[in-house]
Amino acid sequence: MKKALLIMAMASALMACAQKQEKVPAIDLSNLDMTVSPAVDFYQYSTGGWQKNNPLKPEYARFGSFDKLSEENVERLNELFSGMTSMKTEKGSVEQKISDLYKQGLDSVRLNAEGAAPLKGILDRIYSVGNKDELVKLVGEMHNEGQRPFFGAYVESDMVDSDNQILYFGQGGLGIGNRDYYDKPENVSIKEGYRNFLAKVFSLAGVDSPKKAAENALAVEDVLAQNSWTSVQERDVQAQYNVYSTDQMASAFPGFDWKAYLDASGIPAQEKVVVGEPSFFEGFSNYFSNEDLSILKDYLSARVISGAASSLSDDFYAAYFDFFSTQMSGITEQRPRWKRAMQVPNGVLGEAVGKMYVEKYFPASSKEKMITLVDNLKAAFSQHIDELDWMGDETKAKAHEKLDNFTVKIGYPDKWKDYSTLEIDPDKSYYENLTAASKWRVADNLSKLGKPTDRTEWGMSPQTVNAYYNPSTNEICFPAAILQPPFFNPDADDPVNYGGIGVVIGHEMSHGFDDQGRLFDSKGNMSNWWTEEDAARFNEKAQVLVKQFDAVEILPAKDGAPALMANGQLSLGENIGDHGGLSIAYTAMQNAIAGKDLGLIDGFTPDQRFYLGYAAVWAQNITDQEKARRTRQDVHSLAVNRVNVSVKNFQSFFDAFGIKEGDPMWRPESERVHIW
């Protein structure tokens, strides 16, 4: 499934900045907190100064070292977009599409004058439905418009035949994250806030009896949540690969007219589709067939209004912000309108913007440096495979084969996405144009059905500060924007850079061998290439990592609610990525500096600089609400734990900072784990 196959390294939705021109210190001593011993709290020691010097801005729930990069990039992209608004653009050009989307997002006068009017057409369609047959057809049409009520349907490579594209169905339809927000007692206040939000936007949209409509919509989501798989269950990619024909789907889940849905979606009958969560679809179809039509219509309307709220008038956005940003994440101030407006064309026309970004900000030398670093990390990973004491020769040979066949994507795609068929019309409302963009994106995805997989496609735009591994194509990707401080610093020495970008590279490589990625072979097919004994030993080691993170308290018990603990099973893949990244990058660093007398810099040894370079990437401040939200939903551990929990598995860390038994940062050898 898509959410399982695209495994991101650092954090989701982080945008880029341009290559810095000024000299950046290799280790900025002002970022450290020398009042704290590294043996007591290494994260505070290495990032406490940064936290003090970069207090959490009220428009953020989390502000970290690469949010700072994002801020700089926002300024640069805004310069690009603003320049387009002042020039004459040719109709149909990417410049016209970018500038008109940007200008519409800025036009508060028009947005406020239109109010809920842009929603009238879709809401009229929903409330005019006379029976379930018509409702099923409408669901198909809404899916084509980018809405995702009840469930999702999308095309991507077949997990057991990665050269071909097939149709997947996955659970969905929830307005607030995962099922925990609907059935956990500690989330009662959030659920009540969501109910109030729905009532508010229903009222703004002019829907009759808005409080009742909100109750109806939430009642549907409660049922969907009850049937949904947990976030941990969703990480079991093998359990999610359930093959049906569309005729078999109709028999297995008879309460929903799948043929009518496919016809409305323009999707022909298929001999092979994959259903991610059969129990969800069984529960959903039974419920759908028995529920009152008016309740289902209120639910569909809620999904539309909620999804549109951030692109309508100020009163809609205020309601959206108050719940999703303030209550859910602890953000107390709206981002300036120009920042919100800038994000839209950057997302809708990501590669078109990326092409402009690369031409202006990404020198060829950066790509060459990255290629060298990747080669060095691959060599170190190969060395680690050879030295593993828990893996047999047969599995090692397959592991080498997979590593040797990584596709490495650096900087930007060789073939840019064509947006010529996407129409952005300034005479239409902002919402209508965003709907047109969503329809284009869905049509682009569905056009791949039954075709060979295009392995040249990218899963991220070049201006994104992030990286990913995709097991279905066995590729690692490093967009242009990631080759900058604190990830890579041309003014720093090898230890600092291997602790930064080196760990990022090793992290992505390790995803190919984490609890999910290891299930795919060198060609990207889900295949068991492990001996039974080696797989058992891997799982045993992985559970040690789970236990280490499960023991971490995120927030203390409060108001009768239990303490919130980290979820080691949910974050296992990312924690393996960090663990492997640190291990492999450290070896690559040792290889790079072998025979060199680097000595002390700013009083720090090479090993100390390596670990300080790693910690610098994760410097951040974060609200308690955001800690809770991410712990419940995000497969990434919180930054403090990506540092403090992860480094305690390495003797080189203890040796570097003189950490000994009895120190808070010490972990006995019997409790450590070495996987990759």
Give the CATH number, domain containing residue 232.
1.10.1380.10
Give pLDDT, residue 606: 97
Q: What is the 3-state secondary structure (H, E, C) of 22-54?
A: CCCCCCCHHHCCCCCCCCCCHHHHHHHHHHHHC
Do strands 564-565 and 407-411 pair parallel, antiparallel, or not at all (unpaired)?
unpaired
Res. 9 pLDDT band, cuts 50 70 90: very low
- The residue with tokens 């028999």 is 251
Res. 244 pLDDT band, cuts 50 70 90: very high
Tokens standing for residue 440: 């284009």
pLDDT in tens, 497-532: 999 999 999 999 999 999 999 999 999 999 999 999
How far apart CA 178 and CA 40 sit, in angstroms, is: 35
Residues 306 and 196 both lie in one domain: yes
Instruction: Return the number of other C-beta atoms located less than 10 Å from residue 624's C-beta.
Output: 14
Residues 381 and 259 both lie in one domain: no
Give backbone dihedrals phi and psi of 13, rounded to 5 degrees, phi first: 60, 45
Give pLDDT, residue 457: 96
pLDDT at residue 483 greater than cutoff 70: yes
pLDDT at residue 17 greater than cutoff 50: no
Buried b (16+ CB within 10 A) or exposed e, 42-72: bbbbbbbbbbeebebeeebbbbbbbbbbbee
Contact by Cβ (8 Å): 463, 15? yes
Instruction: Return the number of other C-beta atoms located less than 10 Å from residue 659's C-beta.
Output: 22
Give pLDDT, residue 10: 37
Give pLDDT, residue 418: 96
Residues 495 and 606 both lie in one domain: yes
Is residue 472 in some structural domain? no
How far apart CA 429 and CA 415 sit, in angstroms, is: 32
How far apart CA 224 and CA 517 sit, in angstroms, is: 29
Of 311, 341, 364, at which residue does a domain stop? 311
pLDDT at residue 5 greater than cutoff 80: no
Is residue 152 in some structural domain? yes
How far apart CA 522 and CA 284 sit, in angstroms, is: 37
Q: Which helix (H) or strand (E) holds 271?
A: none
Give pLDDT, residue 22: 63
Give pLDDT, residue 370: 87
pLDDT at residue 338 greater than cutoff 50: yes
Tokens standing for residue 565: 């603990």
pLDDT at residue 225 greater than cutoff 90: yes
pLDDT in tens, 168-213: 999 999 999 889 999 988 899 999 999 999 999 999 999 999 999 9
How far apart CA 594 and CA 275 sit, in angstroms, is: 51
Res. 127 pLDDT band, cuts 50 70 90: very high
543 to each of 26, 567, 569, 645, how far by Cα in Å?
A: 36, 12, 8, 14
Indicate the length of the chain as a whole number.
676
**CATH number reported for the structural domain that contains residue 588 in this entry:** 3.40.390.10
Residue of 351 and 14 predicted with greater confidence: 351
Tokens standing for residue 280: 């969800």
Residues 150 and 266 both lie in one domain: yes
Is residue 618 in some structural domain? yes
Q: Is 469 helix (H, G, I), strand (E, B) or coil?
A: strand
How distant is the alpha carbon of residue 314 from its chain centre?
28
Of 257, 281, 311, at which residue does a domain stop? 311
Among 368-372, 582-586, 620-624, where is mean pLDDT lowest? 368-372
How far apart CA 154 and CA 443 sit, in angstroms, is: 10
Do strands 7-8 and 151-158 pair parallel, antiparallel, or not at all (unpaired)?
unpaired
Chain mean pLDDT for the chain: 93
pLDDT at residue 6 greater than cutoff 60: no
Is residue 39 in some structural domain? yes
Q: Using alpha carbons only, what angle is made at residue 356 by residues 350 and 361, rounded to the nearest 5 degrees?
A: 115
Is residue 384 in some structural domain? yes
Residues 171 and 257 both lie in one domain: yes
pLDDT at residue 96 greater than cutoff 90: yes
Instruction: Please count the structural domains in the chain.
Output: 2
Residues 666 and 587 both lie in one domain: yes
Is residue 386 in some structural domain? yes
How far apart CA 2 and CA 507 sit, in angstroms, is: 20
- % the chain with pLDDT above 70: 97
Of 258, 278, 311, at which residue does a domain stop? 311
Tokens standing for residue 654: 């203890």
Res. 20 pLDDT band, cuts 50 70 90: very low
Give pLDDT, residue 84: 82
Residues 6+ apart with CB under 8 A from 165: 155, 156, 157, 158, 448, 449, 450, 451, 452, 453
Tokens standing for residue 517: 């990625």
pLDDT in tens, 653-666: 999 999 999 999 99
Residue of 245 and 364 predicted with greater confidence: 245
Residue of 573 and 71 predicted with greater confidence: 573
Rounded average pLDDT over 333-339: 94
Tokens standing for residue 313: 């008038």
Residues 48 and 193 both lie in one domain: no
Give pLDDT, residue 81: 87
pLDDT in tens, 48-60: 999 999 999 899 9
Residues 492 and 638 both lie in one domain: yes
Residues 48 and 153 both lie in one domain: no
Q: Which of 236, 258, 238, 239 is nearest to 247 (CA)?
A: 258
Rounded average pLDDT over 103-128: 98
Contact by Cβ (8 Å): 470, 162? no
Residues 654 and 560 both lie in one domain: yes
Residues 249 and 383 both lie in one domain: no
Written as one letter, the residue type at 120 is: K
Q: If you compute the radius of gyration of the chain from its CA atoms, what whole number of angstroms results?
A: 25
Res. 16 pLDDT band, cuts 50 70 90: very low
pLDDT in tens, 529-585: 999 999 999 999 999 999 999 999 999 998 888 999 999 999 999 999 999 999 999
Provide the 8-state DSSP code for 481: G
How far apart CA 26 and CA 32 sit, in angstroms, is: 13
Instruction: Return the number of other C-beta atoms located less than 10 Å from residue 449's C-beta.
Output: 17
pLDDT at residue 71 greater than cutoff 90: no
| pTM of the predicted structure, to 2 decimals | 0.92
pLDDT at residue 3 greater than cutoff 50: no
Residues 148 and 252 both lie in one domain: yes
Give pLDDT, residue 14: 32
pLDDT at residue 668 greater than cutoff 50: yes
Residue of 113 and 597 predicted with greater confidence: 113
Q: Which of 293, 291, 299 is nearest to 172 (CA)?
A: 299
Tokens standing for residue 407: 């596709």
Half-sphere exposure of 197 (CA within 13 A, CB side): 29
Do strands 161-171 and 273-275 pair parallel, antiparallel, or not at all (unpaired)?
parallel
Q: Domain limits at 279?
A: 117-311
Is residue 106 in some structural domain? no
Contact by Cβ (8 Å): 95, 89? yes
Is residue 109 in some structural domain? no
Do strands 161-171 and 151-158 pair parallel, antiparallel, or not at all (unpaired)?
antiparallel
pLDDT at residue 161 greater than cutoff 60: yes
